[in-house]
Amino acid sequence: MNLEIIRTVDGIRKRVAEQKKRGKTVALVPTMGGLHEGHLSLITKAKEVADFVVVSIFINPKQFNNPDDLKTYPSDEDADLESIAAEGADTAFIPSVDEMYPQEFATDVKVTAGVNILCDAHRPGHFGGVATVVTKLFLQVGADFACFGEKDFQQLFIISRLVEDLNIPIKIIPTATVREKDGLAMSSRNARLSEDDRRLAPKLQEAMQEVKSNTRNGMTINTACEAAWKSLEAEGNFKVEYFEVRCGKTMVLMEKLSDDCRLFAAAWLGGVRLIDNIKI
């Protein structure tokens, strides 16, 4: 395998500095492992925009508000490294929890835009943990670009805000959601769906497409979202958290259809939380 593995902050800093000295641009693809085609599309994008690609793998304990979710988060370093190498990235940065958060660690990064809504309303503390680890990764790696999937649109919004607010010299590159053939948005957690639930899972995307066509045919956003919520829960195993249409630029709730409208949905299926969003 022709992939370099670096586990320390000093090591990654040195490697990136060397590349930059040679006039190379660097892109970072932050991940928590459990890699699927969605991650691989981020690596492909990173290779398009930069000369040297670093993929980080770090299961960030600070962003798990549910200890069981952390315990069962898929983790297979060897398989991930093979995928990263096959996709042609240059370096895997895999810091330990102690390297990231030494005992005396006492700093939280808190973004106050795009919060208290959608996932943040249901996973208190989650985005604080994301903001903290992503800020650290940006400062540790010193990449010119970082690639994030639109599947986690609220995360993308919050990270873009923090980069601007803290003047971090990195360009955020959003990448389209990658879907299974049946429309289910790819996610590391999909691996935890039972066979029956996996068959049901695409119903979330189907309900979202219904909202899109109903609102385009004149139904109000509220009525369309309520109908989708009910029809999904009528399938049996789903427990919906939200169906909301918001402006993709400001995250403000939208009552009327316009160019910037995005539909956001989250639902539990068995013990797995699915999230998705589409432009409508």
Closest to 47 in 3D by CA, of 16, 20, 78, 24: 24
The smaller minimum CB distance to ligand PAF, of residues 148 and 238, is found at 148
Q: How far is the CB of 253 from ligand PAF (least distance, A)?
A: 24
39 catalytic? Reply is yes
Q: Total binding residues for ligand PAF by CB under 6 A? A: 10
The smaller minimum CB distance to ligand PAF, of residues 30 and 142, is found at 30
Residue showing the smallest CB distance to ligand PAF in the complex: 30
Q: How far is CA 204 from CA 155, 192, 228, in A?
A: 20, 16, 9
| 132 counts as binding ligand PAF under rule CB under 6 A | no
Q: How far is the CB of 230 from ligand PAF (least distance, A)?
A: 30
> Mind giving me the DSSP string for 6-36?
E-SHHHHHHHHHHHHHTT--EEEEEE-S---
- The 15-44 site mask, x for binding ligand PAF (CB under 6 A), equals ---------------xxx------------
The half-sphere exposure of 247 on its side-chain side, counting CA atoms within 13 A, is 10
Q: How far is the CB of 235 from ligand PAF (least distance, A)?
A: 27
Q: How far is CA 241 from CA 81, 123, 275, in A?
A: 34, 11, 9
User: Vertex 264, ends 240 and 39: CA angle to 5°?
Assistant: 105
Q: By the 8 A CB rule, do 136 and 97 touch?
A: no
How far apart CA 81 and CA 92 sit, in angstroms, is: 7
Closest to 12 in 3D by CA, of 100, 132, 130: 100
Q: How far is the CB of 106 from ligand PAF (least distance, A)?
A: 19
Binding ligand PAF by CB under 6 A: which of 19, 41, 60, 215?
60
Contacts with ligand PAF in 149-208 (CB under 6 A)? 152, 155
Q: How far is the CB of 222 from ligand PAF (least distance, A)?
A: 30
Give the residue numbers marked as catalytic: 39
Residues that bind ligand PAF (CB under 6 A): 30-32, 60, 63, 130, 133-134, 152, 155
